[in-house]
Amino acid sequence: MSLTYEEAEKQLHAWTANPALLKHARAVEAVMRQAAAKYGDAAEEETWAITGLLHDADYERWPDEHPQRIVDWLRDRGEEEIAYAVSVHQTAWGLPPKTLMDKALLACDELAGFVIACCLVRPDGIASLKPKSVKKKLKDKKFAAKVDRDIIRQGIELLGGDSGEHIQFAIDALKPHAEELGITGTGKPS
């Protein structure tokens, strides 16, 4: 991989200004960074992290074209593996996941956003969040309604994982970034 983390971060910020989208990019990066060691190869951590960081980089500017712009940008830099994973995450394109990184992005993207949504309504945020609470919220179709529950389920199945274990994995990957992501809690009882 010739693309550096710094170049990827610069591109993300060139196309994305929305604080919520930037936090989502960082959240998916954090989970993908940990997923490299758990599901893939720890030596590929940087590649997986950049994939998570850039997967929605073009969404704010070109939502109707997403993720074509970032895929083209990655391919122009010779980053076909990352470009393909980002393409797969656009499930409407119907591309089959080929690598563990492709599968991990499917399993981590929507789930990272959903875990953050769960944290935002809890007095102590992510501090005591358990998979049981996340699973309960997943059943409530009105909560974080835009999150595609089928993609979460399919991604976990593709990795051959257990949903409770994968949810706990995502929670654990996000905890060290709680302050940056704004998921330390409301401090108010719900």
- pLDDT tens string 140-149: 999 999 999 9
Residue 125, pLDDT above cutoff 70: yes
Residue 46: C-alpha distances to residues 6, 8, 147, 181 (Å)? 11, 11, 26, 20
Reported as a single tens digit per residue, the pLDDT across 41-81 is: 889 999 999 999 999 999 999 999 999 999 999 999 999 99
H-state helical runs in 5-148 = 5-15, 19-39, 45-54, 68-76, 80-89, 100-120, 131-139
Closest by CA position to 107, among listed 55, 41, 63, 68: 55
- What pLDDT score does 188 carry? 59
**Spatial contact of 167 and 135, defined as CB atoms under 8 Å apart:** yes
Domain boundary assignment for the chain:
5-179
Residue 91, pLDDT above cutoff 90: no
Other CB atoms within 10 A of residue 49 CB: 21
State how far the Cα of 47 lies from the Cα of 3, in Å rounded to an integer. Answer: 9
Does the 5-179 domain belong in CATH 1.10.287? no
Unique residue bearing structure tokens 């949903």: 163
State how far the Cα of 109 lies from the Cα of 167, in Å rounded to an integer. Answer: 12
Residue 173, pLDDT above cutoff 80: yes
Across the chain, mean pLDDT equals 93
Q: What's the Rg (C-alpha) of the chain?
A: 16
Reported as a single tens digit per residue, the pLDDT across 70-81 is: 999 999 999 999
- What pLDDT score does 161 carry? 83
pLDDT-derived band at 16 (thresholds 50, 70, 90) equals very high
- What pLDDT score does 89 carry? 87
| Helix, coil or strand: residue 12 | helix
- What pLDDT score does 187 carry? 63
pTM of the model: 0.93
